[in-house]
Amino acid sequence: MISLRDMVHKTIQENVSLPEYLYNIVARRAKSHRISISDYISQVIASSIEEEYVEIADEKTEKAIGEAMDDIEHGRYVRVKPGDRKTLHKVLWGE
């Protein structure tokens, strides 16, 4: 798997030839997003492969996310209003 850190920090430059019509589409879309053509192409490629190849979190974090989702699915959670520190403290530390 490719880690997100590797995608962000390691780059390789490659010259890619595009048909004119495709270049025009890519250039227009990149401009509409206010990014460079190379950034736009990188984002398109990354989004098309991210579910298969990009590791967003380590195993420990993915396990914790899975457990949290299971807790939500089975109603094992407490809603706390933003800024309600008293209730949050009670839920976290039982005091």
pLDDT digits (tens, 9 = 90+) for 1-31: 455 555 555 678 888 899 999 999 999 999 9
Domain layout of the chain by residue ranges: 2-93
Among residues of the chain, what percentage have pLDDT more than 70? 81
Which pLDDT belongs to residue 30? 93
By C-alpha distance, which of 59, 19, 25, 57 is closest to 44? 25
pTM above threshold 0.75: no
Number of residues in the chain: 95
Which pLDDT belongs to residue 53? 60
pLDDT of 40 higher than 80: yes
Does residue 41 contact residue 33 with C-beta atoms inside 8 Å? no
4's CB contacts (< 8 A; 6+ apart) are: 54, 55, 56
Band the pLDDT of 46: cuts 50, 70, 90. confident
